[in-house]
Amino acid sequence: MNAFIGTGLLGSNFVRAMLQKGAQVQVWNRTAEKAKALEQYGAKAFDNVADAVKGADRIHLTLKDDASVNEVLEQAKAGFGRGAIIIDHTTTTAQGAAERTELWKGRGYTYIHAPVFMGPQNALESTGNMMVSGDQEVIKQITPELAKMTGNVLNFGTDNNKAAGIKLIGNLFLIAMTAGVADLLALSKALGISIEEINTLFASWNPAGLLPARLKKMTSGTFDQPSWELSMARKDAGLMMQEAERGGTSLAAIPAIAAEMDKWIARGHGSNDWTVIAKDAVE
């Protein structure tokens, strides 16, 4: 028996996928209507979260943050059965994941943090990536079940907060990339460049393919072998901001990056490779 706590966009589709595979699923959500909406697919909804977890061998959570996970687990604990495993898919702090692992272990229960890189459609189709870390015996036990929920389960070892950290790193990249694309669109608008013309560029030039080499460069410490000097990159950032302003718009990410470049130039790194702005992070 599975219990699923938190049936928003992601959680509800996880539940539907479980039901399609023949699992029994009991559900609860703060907004009760979202849980009850899953009864049409075969789930059993409860108004009380402690009732929702009774009899469940696996208790899955997709909630908002550390505070909501802690609050709901406290409310649910009266219904926990012996041997139940709590599997938390919520994006939380690494510290919170570590603290909950130890807290619930001390209370006689197993807590595993298993965040995901999956959207609602992935959850419904059981495709995507799920990260786990912590007690390897427990992970070995539950991995076949988790694999049914996602296309790929990535095991990051024994540190019980490692999966949480990896999730935050991945989300940071997505946020930074989206901010960069937003700036790209703003500058394109200012310069009168169409989306079709941008697509023509990226159809031939794929910046994503540069990521492995860029990561290697930034962590190698060879900033004295520039392919693009920091002073020149800063000059180009200035041109971007000037053109955006001239076109009646502004950029969100580039000004902050330019300010960071200025700090490194002031420290005497203008002739280094522009990736020197990552020097403090990798040393």
For residue 67, the domain's CATH number is 3.40.50.720
pLDDT of residue 139 exceeding 90, the answer is yes
- Cβ-proximal residues to 245 (8 Å cutoff; 6+ apart), any chain: none
* Residue 107 main-chain phi, psi, to 5 deg: -95, 0
Distance CA 14, CA 12 (A): 5
Q: Which of 134-148, 159-173, 216-230 is the least confident region? A: 216-230
CATH number for the domain that contains residue 223: 1.10.1040.10
| Same-domain status, 106 and 191 | no
| Same-domain status, 121 and 82 | yes
The pLDDT confidence band at residue 151, using thresholds 50, 70 and 90, is confident
| Same-domain status, 101 and 222 | no
Give the C-alpha distances (Å, rounded to integers) separating 87 from 5, 40, 172: 10, 25, 23
Q: Residues 151-160, buried b or exposed e (16+ Cβ, 10 A)?
A: eebebbeeeb
**Residue 22 CB neighbours (<10 A):** 7
Domain final position from 140, 159, 178: 159
Place of tokens 């990051």: 156
Sign for the CA dihedral angle at 234, 236, 238, 244 comes to negative
The pLDDT confidence band at residue 208, using thresholds 50, 70 and 90, is confident
The arithmetic mean of pLDDT across residues 219-248, rounded, is 95
Contact of 160 with 99, CB cutoff 8 Å: no
pLDDT of residue 229 exceeding 90, the answer is yes
| Same-domain status, 224 and 94 | no
**Residue 27 CB neighbours (<10 A):** 28
| Same-domain status, 145 and 171 | no
Domain final position from 142, 159, 176: 159
| Same-domain status, 27 and 141 | yes
- How do residues 234-265 score in pLDDT, each as one tens digit? 999 999 999 999 999 999 999 999 999 999 99
pLDDT for 133 = 98
Distance CA 190, CA 245 (A): 8
Q: What percent of the chain is modeled with pLDDT above 70?
A: 100
| Same-domain status, 152 and 177 | no
Average pLDDT value for the chain: 96
What is the 8-class DSSP label of residue 172?
Answer: H
| Same-domain status, 222 and 255 | yes
| Same-domain status, 149 and 225 | no
pLDDT for 249 = 96
The pLDDT confidence band at residue 282, using thresholds 50, 70 and 90, is confident
Contact of 127 with 151, CB cutoff 8 Å: yes
| Same-domain status, 139 and 6 | yes
Distance CA 64, CA 91 (A): 7
The arithmetic mean of pLDDT across residues 273-282, rounded, is 93
Q: Which of 15-24, 42-51, 212-221, 252-261 is the least confident region? A: 212-221
Distance CA 218, CA 228 (A): 13
| Same-domain status, 51 and 151 | yes
In terms of residue numbers, what domain contains 150? Answer: 2-159
The arithmetic mean of pLDDT across residues 188-193, rounded, is 97
- How do residues 51-106 score in pLDDT, each as one tens digit? 999 999 999 999 999 999 999 999 999 999 999 999 999 999 999 999 999 999 99
The arithmetic mean of pLDDT across residues 31-35, rounded, is 97
Q: Which of 133-142, 144-153, 214-223 is the least confident region? A: 214-223
Gyration radius of the chain over CA positions: 23
Give the C-alpha distances (Å, rounded to integers) separating 112 from 54, 69, 90, 104, 205: 19, 13, 11, 10, 41
The residue type at 228: W
> What's the domain count of the chain?
2
